[in-house]
Copies of this chain bind each other. A is one copy, B any other.
Amino acid sequence: MTGQVRTVDGRVAGRRGQATRQKLLDCLREMLDTSPYRDVKVIDVARMAGTSPATFYQYFQDVESAILEIANDMAKDGQRLKTLAEDQNWAGKGGFAAAEALADGFLEFWRDYEPILRVVDLASAEGDKRFYKVRQKILTAVTGSLTEAIENMQAKGKVGDEVQPNAMAGTLVAMLAAVAGHQKGFESWNIKMKDVRPALSTLVFMGVTGKKPPTR
C-alpha cells in the first residue's frame, strides 16, 4: 500500500535509514513549533538531529518536501474529521449535537497540527499543487458529506434551494478551518473559545438545515 521509503536517489531505505529519516522529520516538526517558517534552516534541523546537512539531503529534496511528508501523515489522521460529518441526522437537537461535534473535531485537529497546517495553508494559497492536494484530502471529504446533508434537507423541501449545497458546504468548512486556525488569535482578542464553540455550531447547524438551532 504505502510505497517503501526511498532516498532521493531512489534507493530503498533500510532500518537505520528510516530511523534517521524519522528523527529528521521529528526535529523539523519541533523546529516549526518554535521558529517562523521562513527561518527554518536545513542546517539547524540537521544539527538538532545530531547529523549533518548532507544526510538531510539524502532523504529530502528540500525543506518543503520534508514538510509535505509530515503533512501527508497528518492528512491520514485527518480522515477522522470526515466521519464526524458523515451519515448524521441533522434534524433537531441531535443535529445540533452533530454540529457541535464537528466544530470540536476541527478545533482539536488544528490544535494538534497547528504549525504544519499553517504551512500547508500558505503553500497551497501560493499555488503549490502538492500542498493543495493535501489540504484537499483533509477538507474535501468533510465538504462532500456536508454537501450530501444539505442536499437531503433541500430534497425534503424543508430548506429553500437558493443556495448551492456545494458552495454552502465549502463555506462552512472554510469557516471551521479558519476559526480553528486562529484559536490563539481569538483568545488574545478577548473572545473566549468557550463562546466561539456555540457560535460555530450554530452557524453550521443553520447552514445545513436553514433553521435556528433548537433552544434547550
| With A160-B215, A203-B207 as contacts: A167 and B192 at CB distance below 8 Å | yes
Instruction: Determine whether the beta carbon of B177 is less than 8 Å from that of A196.
Output: no
Convert A173-216 into 0s and 1s, putting 1 for each residue whose CB lies closer than 8 angstroms to a CB of B: 01101110110111011111001101110110011001111010
A53 at the interface (CB under 8 A from B): no
Question: Which of A114, A177, A191, A213 has the most C-beta atoms of chain B within 10 angstroms of its own C-beta?
Answer: A191
CA distance A62 to B167 in the complex (A): 40
Q: How many copies does the complex hold?
A: 2
Instruction: Determine whether the beta carbon of A36 is less than 8 Å from that of B132.
Output: no
Residues of A at the B interface (CB closer than 8 Å) are 36-38, 64, 114, 118, 121-128, 132, 135-136, 140, 160, 162-164, 166-168, 170-172, 174-175, 177-179, 181-182, 184-186, 188-192, 195-196, 198-200, 202-203, 206-207, 210-213, 215
